[in-house]
Amino acid sequence: MAQIRKSTGIIDWLDQRIALNKMMKVLVSEYWIPKNINFLWAMGVILTTLFVLLLITGFLLMMYYKPDINLAFDSVNYTIMKEVEYGWLWRHIHAVAASVIFLIIYIHTFTAIYYGSYKKGRELIWISGMLLFILFSAEAFSGYMLPWGQMSYWAAMVITNLFGGIPVIGDAVVEWIRGDYAVSDSTLTRFFMLHVCLLPLVLIAVIALHFYTLRIPHVNNETGEEIDFDVEAEKYLKGDKANAKVIPFWPGFLAKDFMYIGFFMIFFFYLVCFHFNFAMDPINFEPGNPLKTPPHIYPEWYFLWQYEILRGFFFDIFGFSAYNIGLIAFAFAGIALFFMPIYDRSDVVAPAHERKGFFVWFWLLVIDMIVLTIFGKLPADGVTMGISNSWIGFYSTITFFILLLVVLPIITTLEKKRGGK
Amino acid sequence: MSVKQERRNFIGLAFGAVAAVGGAFSLVAVKKTWDPLPSVKAAGFTTVDLSPMKDGEMRQIEWRKKPIFILKKDANMAPNDKRDVVVGDSRYIVAIALCTHLGCIPEWRASKQVFICACHAGEFNVDGINTFGPPPRPLDIPPFKIDGTKLVLGETGPEYEKLVAQA
């Protein structure tokens, strides 16, 4: 038991009881961030902000949403949108944030790839980040079902059907996940549970883990320089702030991040107020109907590249059916980036523009994923520049896997043999 | 290892064993909570009368929340003993109207005599056999029993068993 004495104020009173000052040191004022970073290092804080926005608007929406197939559609499109004061605002913030958070997640992820922030002690940051990507995908999908429009219903139908591809028990698993022979009320209520309770709890826990994994290796920097954080922190604390290569998380780093959040929020609320429709699929304004399929089913933009990989194989290869190959490819594409630290055989931590082969590889991957995204939206039976969309999809899919599984290991092995860049 | 330590290990092991057994039973209970309810399972039978159907007519009914195609074959459509449901002297194609690729509902195009699935351009012929695109197998035939001119979906009769055996 500590010796409790009369406190000099509220801070001191708390400090005696919960070691407030020490906690602030550990969490922010002596958690060190390198000075040589750019705006791309602000994406993490922007993601945190968006997640908090989603959480708060989610609570407000939940007050009026009814998880029942006969009530869900109207509770969203009538009650929340027309009756609830500012309901339209919460819904549009929630929808736009759900979409934009994926844009920032992709920027955040590709920043880590570009600067090599997934290796040499930073593997756990990368793995917990990928885990967050998977969880956010599940969160987005389960939330998409809730308004119970046509696209909600058929997206649920198609995605739950994917589990039918599991050998032997596939069909039983599909029925078990749905709780019925088709997507129905029991499916909606369980996905409601996942979206508003279980997945958010797990997400918050894994976000905390993601933050903690940064603690020991610290964040990477623009040049990939290996900083001795103990030495540099010592300099800073002694008062030599000019020569120290680090600044504290608060007030140094976060103060500037607030500026980035400010800029981002201008962009974000411009979307919410003037372009909220990009996050609203017109087909979803028709109530879900089990007996009528929309002419063209496609996911939201952030899943398109994976969706295109799913349908990239449309012919059988060596007796494996197109269906099974597509399914395996789709499942692997979801977790493919988990293994970045394994594909990359080189120890060099440097920005891509200082690693010739890697630089070319990086932009090829980005371009390929953009092509996959574009063709994921186009109907499969269309033709572009005289080539059928199915074939473009097939070659882009093959390119994606070859880039990750073949090209990257080869160029990084050569880099290693050259002894660096 | 002192005596005390062994006692503590025993307490730890005993607690762990009880918790593991409890955990295993809980997992089974959680799994069963996710199962379809008895009321859902019981609602799995639909009866349809085929006698009013005309030659070449296509009907869509609902069974277990799934759409079902019933097509009465006309003289131009070749008989196929592996797929046809024979009731009296007429032949019908009865199939679950969900594309075997990802479960969208294909559309019957009477002019071309094919079922076309718009999602990924899969095609099935009159007999519901996959002829193009990603669908891995013909349209599934639901379990049925023939009762006079009526078809009971959800029960299995000898005609259904025969079709499945040939598939």
Residue-level pLDDT at A319: 67
Structure confidence at residue B160 as a pLDDT band (50, 70, 90): confident
Contact assignment for A293 to B105 by CB distance below 8 Å: yes
Query: How big is the CA angle at A335 (ends A332 and A336), to the nearest 5 degrees?
Result: 70
Question: Which of A166, A173, A177, A181 should one mutate to test binding to chain B, selecting the residue with the greatest count of B CBs within 10 A?
Answer: A181
Higher pLDDT: A125 or B1? It is A125
Which residues pair with residue A307 across a beta bridge? none
Contact assignment for B105 to A311 by CB distance below 8 Å: no
Which residues pair with residue B60 across a beta bridge? B69
Which of the residue ranges A348-352, A365-369, B141-145 would you say has the lowest mean pLDDT?
A: B141-145
- For residues B100-129, average pLDDT: 85
Structure confidence at residue A1 as a pLDDT band (50, 70, 90): low
Closest residue, chain A, to B133 (C-alpha): A314
Of B37, B40, B134, the CB nearest to A322: B134
Q: What is the pLDDT of residues A215-253, one digit of tens each?
A: 999 999 999 999 999 999 999 999 999 999 999 998 889
Shortest distance, CA B6 to any CA of chain A (angstroms): 31
Which of the residue ranges A317-321, B25-29, B46-50 would you say has the lowest mean pLDDT?
A: A317-321
Residue-level pLDDT at A415: 92
Cβ-Cβ contacts under 8 Å for B19 (sequence gap 6 or more): none
Q: Assess whether pLDDT exceeds 90 at residue B26.
A: yes
Q: Which of A43-52, A150-159, B10-19, B49-58 has the highest average model confidence (pLDDT)?
A: A43-52
Of B40, B65, B134, the CB nearest to A314: B134
CB A418 within 8 A of CB A410: no
Q: Assess whether pLDDT exceeds 70 at residue B3.
A: no
Strands B58-63 and B66-72: antiparallel
- For residues A28-33, average pLDDT: 94
Q: How far is CA A98 from the centre of its chain?
A: 10
Q: Assess whether pLDDT exceeds 60 at residue B1.
A: no
Q: What average pLDDT is seen over chain B? A: 86
- Backbone φ, ψ for residue A228 (5° rounding): -85, 100
Of B44, B118, B120, the CB nearest to A311: B120
Closest residue, chain B, to A176 (C-alpha): B35
Bond preceding residue A251 cis, omega within 30 of 0: yes
Please spell the DSSP secondary structure of A141-158, one letter per residue: HHHHHTT-BHHHHHHHHH
Residue-level pLDDT at A7: 93
Which of the residue ranges A235-244, A310-319, A408-417 would you say has the lowest mean pLDDT?
A: A310-319
In whole angstroms, what is the distance from residue B15 CA to residue A394 CA? 55
- For residues A63-92, average pLDDT: 96
Structure confidence at residue A421 as a pLDDT band (50, 70, 90): low
Structure confidence at residue B102 as a pLDDT band (50, 70, 90): confident
Shortest distance, CA A390 to any CA of chain B (angstroms): 9
Residue-level pLDDT at A25: 95
Residue-level pLDDT at A403: 97
- For residues A24-52, average pLDDT: 96
Radius of gyration for chain B, computed over Cα atoms and rounded to the nearest angstrom:
25
In whole angstroms, what is the distance from residue A208 CA to residue A353 CA? 32
- Of chain B, the percentage scoring pLDDT greater than 70 comes to 97
Residue-level pLDDT at B2: 61
- Per CB-CB distance under 8 Å, the chain A contacts of B134 are 311, 313-314, 322-323, 326
Q: What is the pLDDT of residues A204-222, one digit of tens each?
A: 999 999 999 999 999 999 9
- Per CB-CB distance under 8 Å, the chain A contacts of B34 are 176-177, 179, 190
Structure confidence at residue A420 as a pLDDT band (50, 70, 90): low
Residue-level pLDDT at A294: 85
Residue-level pLDDT at A271: 97
Higher pLDDT: A223 or B166? It is A223
Higher pLDDT: B3 or B31? It is B31
* Nearest C-alpha neighbor of B108 from the set B124, B131, B86: B124
- Per CB-CB distance under 8 Å, the chain B contacts of A180 are 36, 40, 65
Residue-level pLDDT at A13: 95
- For residues A394-419, average pLDDT: 93
CB A88 within 8 A of CB A277: no
Question: Which of A293, A306, A314, A323 should one mutate to test binding to chain B, selecting the residue with the greatest count of B CBs within 10 A?
Answer: A293
In whole angstroms, what is the distance from residue A122 CA to residue B34 CA? 38
Residue-level pLDDT at A48: 97
**C-alpha dihedral, A27 to A30 to A34 to A38, nearest 10°:** 50
Cβ-Cβ contacts under 8 Å for A341 (sequence gap 6 or more): A118, A119, A123, A126
